[in-house]
Amino acid sequence: MKISQAFTFEAAHRLPNVPQTHRCHRMHGHSYRIEIVLDGPVDPHTGFVVDFFDIEDVFGPLLKELDHYCLNEISGLENPTAENIAIWIWERTKPRLAQISSVRVYETADCWAQYDGPER
């Protein structure tokens, strides 16, 4: 069974490793959408793979670190591409939510990056 929970936040960033002529080199902002997907068996007693409130408890503190901040100023997000944000979220949530199978980060409604964990 797969379940997913989405979260949104607003943040500014710039991409320091693109050419200065690239428009994302300049400071700008996004309305980000994060989707955390979990995969596992349904517990016969609770009926859950994971309680959605447990997902909120794990991701909530990270959301507070991200919302309305400049992502470049957050440790580990000095180059805050959608790809790096997805990895950053995975690394901080996987230890507490073992069933995570992917993290998807939308920078816009049409552009996203998905991380499915380290390559094996």
- Using CA atoms, how far apart are residues 12 and 39, in angstroms rounded to an integer? 31
- Using CA atoms, how far apart are residues 77 and 71, in angstroms rounded to an integer? 6
pLDDT value at residue 120:
54
- List pLDDT tens digits, range 80-105: 999 999 999 999 999 999 999 999 99
Catalytic residue, chosen from 24, 25, 70, 83, is 24
Helix, strand, or coil here: 81?
A: coil
Catalytic residue, chosen from 68, 73, 78, 111, is 68
pLDDT value at residue 35:
98
Give Cβ neighbours of residue 67 (< 8 Å, ≥ 6 apart).
9, 10, 11
pLDDT value at residue 119:
74
Give Cβ neighbours of residue 62 (< 8 Å, ≥ 6 apart).
89, 92, 93
pLDDT value at residue 32:
98
pLDDT category, 3, cuts 50, 70, 90?
very high
Active site residue 68: yes
Active site residue 78: no
* Token digits of residue 95: 């230890």
- List pLDDT tens digits, range 30-67: 999 999 999 999 999 999 999 999 999 999 999 999 99
CA-based angle 37:43:44, to the nearest 5? Answer: 145
Active site residue 24: yes
pLDDT value at residue 71:
98
